[in-house]
Structures are given as structure tokens and as C-alpha cells.
Amino acid sequence: MVLLASGQSNKEVAATLGLSVPTFRKHYLHLLKQRDLMLDRLRTKLRVTQIQQGLSGNAAALNAALNTLDKVRAESAQKRVDHRGSTKAEKAPKLGKKEQRQITAQNIGGKFAPPTPPKLIVDNG
């Protein structure tokens, strides 16, 4: 859970656990579906622990952990914003058989090209 919440990819988490990616997906699908919530859950647990440690006098280490998780959250939000603007290039509309044949006939060249019309000389003088 901590590995997923810290922003690691499926491949990295599977390698850490010693599993292949498909096996990891198969057995940990329920966790993968809740990847976005895991960061919040982990932050909540750390805050509870921070309050308990703060009451006993030591909160410096937990503050550093919370700051790290905040950075991970900011990076993931930045990735979502960056990917939001990138849209796929629009494909050219697919032409039917008749349209394709018409375009091919208009672009034909070589010895099968239609003959050029004669040049007309106009003398208006």
C-alpha cells in the first residue's frame, strides 16, 4: 500500500514484491483500483501518528514524511494537468471506395493521363 501511495508504477511495485506485472495486477487489483485514495489514507495514518508522537514530544521525522507525501501528490497532480492538454491528432476522414477512385483518377499521370487541351490564340486587334 505504501509503495502505491508513494507514486511508484505497477512495474516498480511488482519488481519490489518479486512478482511479474500480470501476477501483481491479478492479485492486487483491489488495491490498484484505490490507488488515488491510498495517498490520502496514508497521510491520515501519518497525521494520527504525528499527533500521538507530537504529544509525546517527537514530530520532526513525521513532518518530513508528510512533506515528502505532499510533494508526491503535487507531482501526480502536475502529471494529470500536463496530460490533460495533450490530445491525439485528428485522423483524416476515411474515404469510401467511390471517393478514393475519384481522387485517384484525378491524380493520374504518365501515358494514361488525359491529353492537355490545345492552346487557343485570341487576337482581338
Q: Decide if 124 is inside a domain.
A: no
pLDDT in tens, 13-38: 888 889 998 998 888 888 888 887 88
Q: Decide if 78 is inside a domain.
A: yes
Nearest to 4 by CA among 42, 30, 35, 47: 35
Q: Decide if 28 is inside a domain.
A: yes
Do the beta carbons of residue 40 and residue 71 sit within 8 Å? Answer: no
- When divided into structural domains, the chain yields a total of 1
pLDDT in tens, 50-60: 777 766 777 77
Triad 97, 99, 100: Cα angle to 5°: 65
Q: Decide if 50 is inside a domain.
A: yes
Q: Decide if 33 is inside a domain.
A: yes
Q: Decide if 107 is inside a domain.
A: no
User: Which domain does 81 fall in, by range?
Assistant: 2-85
pLDDT in tens, 98-118: 999 999 888 888 887 778 888
Predicted TM-score (pTM) of the model is 0.41
